[in-house]
Amino acid sequence: MEPVRTCVGCRTRAPRTALLRVVAQNDTLIPDDRAVLPGRGAWVHPTRECMDAALRRRAFGRALRVSTELDTRIFEQHPPRNKG
């Protein structure tokens, strides 16, 4: 059975392989395509809708338990892919 995670953008549960892991390093939000970077991770569907919703709701700071403002420029440049 495949691990299931919750998308911080749309709050729906999905298989881990369908989601993009995101970590905070030095107050910068970094997409972790291979899901191997150290530290706490947050999961989001790699679609523009979910990525924008997560940024708008400031869900990454809560999910990653970061109290400072995160630099999202690198994350925002990450290309979305089709859901599914």
Q: Give 35-63 pLDDT, tens digit per residue.
A: 999 999 999 999 999 999 999 999 999 99
pLDDT at 83: 52
Average pLDDT over residues 20-40: 95
Residue 66 pLDDT > 60: yes
Read out DSSP for 14-27? EEGGGSEEEEEETT
**Euclidean distance between the first and the last CA atom of the chain, given in angstroms as a whole number:** 18
Residue 84 CA to residue 73 CA, distance in Å, equals 25
